[in-house]
Amino acid sequence: MKRQLLLLLIGAAFIVLLISISTFIYLKHTYHSLSKSNIQTLEQTIQQVPQEKIDNVIALLKKSLGKDPFSAETHLALGMVYNKNNLLDDALSELKMALTLKPDLVNIYQEMYLIYKKKGMENEANRALASYEKLKKSE
């Protein structure tokens, strides 16, 4: 009787463990998918910002970073806006900060590649592209 109760408890604990792991994997996948779609939307939005509004966008992003300086996505967005405005050194600075905060954010490498190409820094561009392709394969 005690043995059966012990086996029943072990089985129940195992089922709870499996459910917990499954839930964790599902939530992680859902969050990752949302992040990717948000960043794709962000890229499209930044490309549509008229040049005369860029300063307003930069101010908003800086204000956002004032509230949450550890947002890799906001640093990425600011880097993208700086790139669009040809402030390449500022863009790289923001992208490097984003990379420090979230090294698996594939869009950082994509944007760094574009900036390094603009600056004629082929070796750095190739390294960024290699990192981008490596992360893209692991998704």
> What domains can you pick out in the chain, each with its CATH number?
2-138 (1.25.40.10)
Token look-up 């970073």 returns 65
Distance CA 81, CA 53 (A): 11
Q: Whole-angstrom Cα distance, residue 118 to residue 125?
A: 9
User: pLDDT digit of tens for each residue in the chain (139 aa)?
Assistant: 777 777 777 766 667 555 656 554 544 544 444 355 556 666 666 776 777 777 888 888 898 889 989 988 889 999 998 998 899 999 999 999 999 999 988 889 989 999 999 999 999 988 998 888 887 777 6
pTM equals 0.67
The answer to whether 94 touches 76, Cβ cutoff 8 Å, is yes
